[in-house]
Structure 1
Amino acid sequence: MKYMRALPALLVLSACSGGSGDSSAGGDQAEDPVVVDYPIAFVRRQLGFEDDGALVEDDIYSPADFNPGAQLVMKDRATPSAPETVLTAGLFDGDYDVKDLNTSADGQRLVFSMRAPEIEGADDDEQPTWNIWLYDRESRELRRVIESDLIAEEGQDIAPAFLPDGRIVFSSTRQRRSRALLLDDNKPQFSSLSENQRNEAFVLHAMEADGSAIRQISFNQSHDLHPTVLNDGRILFNRWDNMGGVDNLSLYTIEPDGTDLAFNYGYHSQQTGTAQTDAAFVRPRQMPDGRLLITLRAPAGTSYGGDLVAIDSANHTEAYSLPEGEGEVVGQESIAVEEVITDGSLSPHGLFAAAWPFYDGTSRLLVSWSECRVLEAETGLPRPCTDEWLSQEEVVPADPIYGLWIYDYAEGTQLPIVVAEEGEMISEGVTLEPRTEPAYLPEPIAGVDLDSELVQDGVGILDIRSVYDFDGVDMLAGEGGAGIPNLADPDITPAELRPARFLRVAKAVGIPDDDILDFDRSAFGRNRAHGMRDILGYTPIQPDGSVRVKLPADMPLAISVVDADGRRIVGRHRSWLQLRAGEVRTCNGCHTGDSEVPHGRPDKEPASAWAGAPTSGVPFPNTEPALVAEIGETMAQLLARIAGETQLERDISFSDLWTDPAVRAKDPSSSIAYADLQTPLPIAATCLDDWAGCRSVIHYPQHIQPLWERTREVLDAGGNLIEDRTCTVCHSNRDAAGMLRIPAGQLDLTAAASAANADWMTSYVELLFDNPTEELVDGALSPILVQERDDNGNLVFETDEDGNLILDSDGNPIPVMVTVDVDRLMGDAANGSRFFEMFAPGAAHADYLDPAELRLISEWLDIGAQYYNDPFAAPVN
């Protein structure tokens, strides 16, 4: 190994790297150890410090952070002695920020993100935004890509990359298409916050090199970051899946027009840092050998760097050979010469902040690298991480000192190009050398590549072969199960025995920042991680489990497989689905949340468990003779071919289209309709006549609470009251005379503000949280208290910090008293919630609630049991 260990001498000898001379001046290259005949560009920045002297944290989930004190520098050779030109010198009066360098394939153009200096005294919404800038080597022109100040400041634009056709793909908060669609909801246009609600979501956009024709191409509720173009023309990027408790930053691909969004690598490999700590795949870029070069680093911290890792995503979708982070690491490998520590402790081999491959047939990289250093206890001076300095009684890390280096991971050599001084760092660098242009993927043409009617209607098609296919396995086959072929045969399996009956589709609701709408966050309800959602509708699942339905384009969608009552039977969908207008998205089936079998990546997922129709020219067994199948077709595809593409429906409605009446009678039709509700509808009245463009929006106070208060009197033939089944008649803490009492079943369903949380009604808290049982004591309701017992069943008494018993005034131990809680009736989904057991046939409350009411409660629970599902309907602060 030829790693240069004599770093202190090397740093001194290479510190003379030239000034801000003309980049065309060149220099005497004979003395340089490596001659590289193309320019490099890099970002030199000052380290940022908090008021207490601590380094400013770098958080990849906060990509809009502004760290002033940077400059963009170019050298005409990748050598220490080549002169430097500060390309951004003189642009601004004050400290600005630069990041996200990228180059064109011919090496003639440099594109990057830059933010102008802070405006003193201006509000946050009046401060400059991140903009995309372009430098042309031939003309030596430096310009902002979007000339108009008004358009440039519409959002934060970062992480640009050149597409093969000369356009630029970048990540931005401008959310152009998403903002436009808000007008359909009668909402003001705004950029939605990411799901953690800390900042606006960055998603992918594309534009011409002159800043025109800006189009949004990805639709995520959280960030889509660091796009780069692969050799095959697809865009690879970091996608933050942050739905409903998921927190993964993994690699996805998408085509330049926004179609074919697909998982690529690492969804279940989030803990591949040192000692399996959290680590993110940062700044992906394809290497000449086809692997992906990334910096593997902690998502946030003050070290600013991590390990050099190559990912073999062509052959692997996860890091480990076995699920759950077990087995051999096969999908990725460190290509650093020595081990790099990424868990926050000292890394003797140093850390890498960024890396860029050379395209000259070598194994060299241009890296931003910091030596490992600690502070000498006596002097406070930085010292290298040798055994001598690491053996100090108190080891304190020194500030990083990232310089620019040529790093050959195969040869084991490392040569300095730009040496950083104390208090500064070279945060990233690129070479402006020619390389092979990625393949050009032409834009699909309506009427040629895409269905013109679908494009005009702004919809795409979702085509699922079978929801009974789990990771390529027929989940109902074997162990006496029917299997998909038997479910598809109506003579073997009637509709009532098919578990999956409908597909429910919901869309994400955009959340504005406080400047647009300062609403109370209690509006999210019990689980803020679920966000807010609208229900777009339902479509029947065909007997073989297949689905083919038109869905609106350009919005984050989530799907759920539900039973005949509208209750989800498969785990919650954890990633947002998107369709572009005219796109047909095919899917084999489903998978569980913890499955590590590739799902959503067509070239790696297992073959479908359902082959479809075995022959052409005949119907599926025992189905309508007119429904003649073609080989390989699913039932949903057959219907679409014969009767046209299906649209989402408002209600849960079933009609037997399949059973051959010559074989047996058709299954009875059924419908659970919103129109049957006697309480306020979660839809606009006009949507009862035409569902096109409609959705249901469920708020607990307006739509669920009225169910508990609806009068439910049972009368005899003469109109005399036999029984009052109104929920609050029994489930309240006051009787008809106004006297205090224990609510029936310890369940209070009244609308009064909860004593536990005044932002919510009592009924909401009682249904969705464990609550203490109460008793009536001296005319007041009080929680029942019992003495706590430890895990061994022993009674627990109060003790001091040393574990000694605390005695009362009589010298007796003081018992620790705890409440006896009633388990909540409603869980995270309708199926599995004890609430519905009470309304099952033969149960105590059978027929108390109507099917439409139970449907409304079921879908409200399944989408997250939010208090409100529209921030503009929630109370403002």
Structure 2
Amino acid sequence: MKYFGALSALFLLAACSGGGSDGSGGGDQSEDPVVVDYPLAFVRRSLSLEDDGGLTPDDVYSPAAFNPGAQLLLKDRATPSAPERVLTEGLFEDDDFVGGYDVKDLNTSADGTRLVFAMRAPEIEDADDDEQPTWNIWLYDLEENELRRVIQSDLIAEEGQDISPAFLPDGRIVFTSTRQRRSRALLLDDDKPQFSSLTEELQNEAFVLHVMEPDGTDIRQISYNQSHDLHPTVLNDGRILFNRWDNMGGVNNLSLYTLRPDGTDLSFHYGYHSQQTGTGQTDAAFVRPREMPDGRLLVTLRAPEGLTFGGDLVAIDSVEYTEAYSQPEGEGELQGQTSIAVEQVITDGSLSPHGLFASAWPFHDGTSRLLVSWSECRVLVEEDDDEEEETLLPRPCTEEWLDTGEPVPADPIYGLWIYDYQEGTQRPIVVAEEGEMISEGVTLEPRIEPEFLPEPVPGVDLDRELVQAGAGILDIRSVYDFDGVDILAGEDGAGIAELADPAITSAEFRPARYLRIVKGVGIPDDDVLDFDRSAFGRNGAHGMREILGYTPIQPDGSVRVVLPADTPLAISVVDADGRRIVGRHRSWLQLRAGEVRQCNGCHTADSEVAHGRADKQLEPAWNGAATSGIPFPNTEPALVAEMGETMAQLLARIAGEAELEGDITYADLWTDPAVRAKDPSSVIPYGELATPQPMSLTCQDNWEGNCRIVIHYPEHIQPLWERTREITDGAGAVLEDHTCTACHSARDADGMVRVPAAQLNLVDDPSPANADWMTSYVELLFDNPAQQLVGGALQNILVQDTDDNGNPLFETDEDGELILDSDGNPIPVMVTVDIEGVMGDSANGSRFFEMFEPGAGHGDYLEPAELRLISEWLDIGAQYYNNPFAAPVN
């Protein structure tokens, strides 16, 4: 069969799908005097095909994908008849290059005189992957007719993949890159080689935001996500809006975030809980955001991966809303965003009769026009030609052609159009031919320059000491504030004010006692370190984690603590035993040097309140000190508060900023001795561990900003089960042996086979279920079959399986007929009796610790420091290793 296009039919087909276009045939008679005087640039590319001839899927989570066969072109006027010239022609004619180059991510300066974009040179013949060209940022000056790579040095240009540039008001360029400049430098402080970390899905190096001067110098990293930060654009207020891939723990959201050009004030902006807003509420991504002249955000709403390359035109009212729907979980009225396509666009991968939009660029001329890359909807129809040979022809998605049977989508044919979403018209500017597409276009049209946001000055706007220390401050008003609600208040609840009053509440009755700070661990690719991926343990979505330390939560739930800057951080609220009492943090927090980040409180994983977005912040549930000049009620007289201060803020003002500690330490700083005796001090020190400690010897004596708690199961947890725990009499005779493996093993002291106590085997032998892990790891964390001793050997206990109604099940053949044994009896379906693992997703969610409560059977078997170690390890994800360089290599 043949597949070919009929280009002569394109204008007729476009009129069917174009929303009532008049004069859509193009030509000078359809020129729009408002827009024709502005040049436009666009990318024409060949459709990327697989070896079998099918389209290559377009994946927004693979931004480094290279699809050669693109050209960057310029039209001096936005009309179909205006001549085109290829700006990138002749750039790559070296004999070493093979095939075409690639171009994408067009953007313009506010005065319309400069064009910036990403381009990758062709493949180099016979070169290894790490020797191939990288994506670079290029700049075209319209007035000078000059095209140049922004970073002049070949060596510096090839340090990473650089894409998605945009101009800042001061002339610098913000872009996203895998070079991870600051993150790589900080790896040296962790005694690791420099590398660009992979995303949390471990498929590609993570793209994060950087800024540089227009001549390519002074490159600085400004975002610190563990997955991609994509498509930066500058809002009118000077902030940078971008797509952030929230992928911690497998969340998989492509939400909108903002930050300032210096990387401070990172804030969620829109859409974390609005990912299912595609057709039929299918998963969709907000791609390539841009601010429209009316203040709304223009995005392409599309499937994250697919063969269509496009989606719907959606305008987001992020000034008023932070989520799409009026009620949580996609319920209620769709209010935060609206499709501005003239007719419905289908985004679930099925045919979209109104076509699809691959990109959109707003005009800034007071109209409702957009420059869009648009493809009509087409299907392949079998027809017979004059030679009676069967042929597939593309036809429009009209009833005539859709009724011919099961429709087969034709390849898209994206052209460049002026689309007026209010007037309902669209006019062709550049027509694509079969096998190619116009993937994006921009106008070099003057627009209002965004506001310039100057960088804070150390010693004036920032604390100079914090800047020099490479640290910032996290300030939380109260961890008991959930979405502006005091979660302790109510008929049976004391409320924050009562909890903060030592005369009413002692420390033992305050649920939140410490804040644990956790750091994400960068994972190298196989070229840097080819380690066994079993190192992540039972759930690779948790990645690897390091604990940076703890700080006490004050009686009112407030926290103010110095944290390392330029680091992906997560926080956990823990109890007196160091066990997490709320869910894991689901997005990465970052601080820049000298920055003070303030928030009112906490939120649950499904909360749709815009945490961290200042203009949408709810009134705090805790207002702090009611007046100035006196202490908080019943607290130390010397701790005199100022109105509105939290307890943590008061301590910082009087005693200096709190820093992280390695041990879980409590001292009663608040109770007035004249009211009652102070609560007893306590500490759970790692110094009491008889097994290897998860920190350096230096940090045991003096906890500093570069100290880490790094827990590996084989090195730190398994030795707890094997540590000798004998109780002896005065003569040294063993009275009791509480060594874990003395009972929890498949052999007794004489080497005889037995059923382990409680069906729990804690030996370090490779597990029969997974030889990459020790038996103890699998037995603790997974469901395991119960065993019995039969003829001196351990065998799994088997019982007959039943259906949902409790009826016994028997083996059947492929026709559903019973299979009989040699005696003519049906053969029962036998299954194992599984015992649930004693360790869950968190320490407080694990029945393991019930056995070590006071008065329980194992009440005094493990020491507080040992229980703390196990609790921390579970809370951060129960990884097998938490440093890839400690894991076995392949």
Question: 1:241-390 residue pairs with structure 2 within 5 A?
Answer: 241-378=246-383, 379-390=391-402
Question: 1:421-820 residue pairs with structure 2 within 5 A?
Answer: 421-692=433-704, 693-820=706-833
Query: Over residues 89-138 of structure 1, what are the superposed CA-to-partner deviations in whole Å (9 max), with x where a residue is unaligned?
Result: 00013400000000000000000000000112211111111000000001
State the partner residue of 2:42.
Answer: 42
The code of the aligned residue for 1:102 comes to N
Query: Over residues 496-525 of structure 1, what are the superposed CA-to-partner deviations in whole Å (9 max), with x where a residue is unaligned?
Result: 010000000010110000000000000000
State the partner residue of 1:25.
Answer: none
The code of the aligned residue for 2:531 comes to F
The code of the aligned residue for 2:405 comes to E
Structure 2: gaps of 5 or more residues: 1-9, 94-98, 384-390
The code of the aligned residue for 1:747 comes to L
CA distance in 2, matches of 1:717, 1:253: 68
The code of the aligned residue for 1:734 comes to R
CA distance in 2, matches of 1:353, 1:121: 34
Matched, 1:391 2:403: yes
CA distance in 1, matches of 2:226, 2:355: 36
Alpha carbons of 1:146 and 1:778: their partners in 2 closer, same or farther (altered >3 Å)? same
CA distance in 2, matches of 1:409, 1:30: 21
Contact kept, 8 Å, 2:24 with 2:427, in 1: the verdict is no
Aligned length: 864
State the partner residue of 2:386.
Answer: none
State the partner residue of 2:175.
Answer: 170
Distance apart, 1:9 and its partner CA: 10
Alpha carbons of 1:551 and 1:423: their partners in 2 closer, same or farther (altered >3 Å)? same
CA distance in 2, matches of 1:6, 1:117: 35
CA distance in 1, matches of 2:666, 2:821: 68
Query: Over residues 209-256 of structure 1, what are the superposed CA-to-partner deviations in whole Å (9 max), with x where a residue is unaligned?
Result: 000000000000000000000000000000001011211110000000
Match of 1:618, SS state, is coil
Distance apart, 1:799 and its partner CA: 2.0
Alpha carbons of 1:8 and 1:451: their partners in 2 closer, same or farther (altered >3 Å)? closer
CA distance in 2, matches of 1:415, 1:552: 54
Contact kept, 8 Å, 1:15 with 1:418, in 2: the verdict is no
CA distance in 1, matches of 2:25, 2:317: 39
Matched, 1:850 2:850: no
Contact kept, 8 Å, 1:4 with 1:414, in 2: the verdict is no
Distance apart, 1:273 and its partner CA: 0.3
The code of the aligned residue for 1:700 comes to Y
Match of 2:346, SS state, is coil
Question: 1:140-159 residue pairs with structure 2 within 5 A?
Answer: 140-159=145-164
CA distance in 2, matches of 1:220, 1:194: 9
Distance apart, 1:10 and its partner CA: 11
Alpha carbons of 1:194 and 1:776: their partners in 2 closer, same or farther (altered >3 Å)? same
Distance apart, 1:721 and its partner CA: 1.6
Match of 1:534, SS state, is strand
Query: Over residues 746-769 of structure 1, what are the superposed CA-to-partner deviations in whole Å (9 max), with x where a residue is unaligned?
Result: 000000010100000000000000
State the partner residue of 1:232.
Answer: 237
Contact kept, 8 Å, 1:73 with 1:86, in 2: the verdict is yes
CA distance in 2, matches of 1:583, 1:498: 30
Distance apart, 1:596 and its partner CA: 1.3
The code of the aligned residue for 1:552 comes to P
Query: Over residues 353-381 of structure 1, what are the superposed CA-to-partner deviations in whole Å (9 max), with x where a residue is unaligned?
Result: 00000000000000000010011122301
Distance apart, 1:832 and its partner CA: 1.6
- Report sequence identity in percent: 79
Query: Over residues 196-220 of structure 1, what are the superposed CA-to-partner deviations in whole Å (9 max), with x where a residue is unaligned?
Result: 0000000000000000000000000
Distance apart, 1:808 and its partner CA: 2.2
Match of 2:14 among 7, 19, 29: 7
Contact kept, 8 Å, 1:377 with 1:394, in 2: the verdict is no
Match of 1:619, SS state, is coil
Between 834-843 and 686-695, report the one with greater CA deviation: 686-695
Distance apart, 1:810 and its partner CA: 2.2
Distance apart, 1:604 and its partner CA: 1.1
Contact kept, 8 Å, 1:14 with 1:80, in 2: the verdict is no
State the partner residue of 1:860.
Answer: 873
Contact kept, 8 Å, 2:474 with 2:597, in 1: the verdict is yes
Structure 1: gaps of 5 or more residues: 18-27
The code of the aligned residue for 2:52 comes to D
Which TM-score applies when normalising by structure 1? 0.97
Alpha carbons of 1:794 and 1:152: their partners in 2 closer, same or farther (altered >3 Å)? same
Distance apart, 1:806 and its partner CA: 2.1
State the partner residue of 1:200.
Answer: 205
CA distance in 2, matches of 1:43, 1:810: 75
State the partner residue of 1:32.
Answer: 31
CA distance in 1, matches of 2:515, 2:668: 16
The code of the aligned residue for 1:497 comes to F
Contact kept, 8 Å, 1:373 with 1:384, in 2: the verdict is yes
The ranges of structure 1 where at least 4 consecutive aligned residues each deviate by more than 6 angstroms after the TM superposition are: 8-11, 13-17
Distance apart, 1:5 and its partner CA: 6.8
Distance apart, 1:395 and its partner CA: 1.1
Match of 2:451, SS state, is coil
Between 270-279 and 804-813, report the one with greater CA deviation: 804-813
Match of 1:764, SS state, is helix
Contact kept, 8 Å, 1:377 with 1:392, in 2: the verdict is no
Query: Over residues 566-605 of structure 1, what are the superposed CA-to-partner deviations in whole Å (9 max), with x where a residue is unaligned?
Result: 0000110010000000000001100000111222212113
The code of the aligned residue for 2:46 comes to Q
CA distance in 2, matches of 1:352, 1:794: 55
Match of 1:799, SS state, is coil
Distance apart, 1:442 and its partner CA: 0.2
The code of the aligned residue for 1:7 comes to A
Distance apart, 1:16 and its partner CA: 11
Contact kept, 8 Å, 1:587 with 1:600, in 2: the verdict is yes
CA distance in 1, matches of 2:811, 2:817: 8
Contact kept, 8 Å, 1:16 with 1:81, in 2: the verdict is no
Contact kept, 8 Å, 2:568 with 2:589, in 1: the verdict is yes
CA distance in 1, matches of 2:610, 2:144: 47
Match of 1:200, SS state, is coil
Contact kept, 8 Å, 2:115 with 2:140, in 1: the verdict is yes
CA distance in 2, matches of 1:36, 1:53: 39
CA distance in 2, matches of 1:225, 1:604: 24
Query: Over residues 145-201 of structure 1, what are the superposed CA-to-partner deviations in whole Å (9 max), with x where a residue is unaligned?
Result: 000000000000000000000000000000000000000011100000000000000
Match of 2:228 among 216, 223, 227: 223
Query: Over residues 700-758 of structure 1, what are the superposed CA-to-partner deviations in whole Å (9 max), with x where a residue is unaligned?
Result: 00000000000001122343321010000000001111111100000000000101000
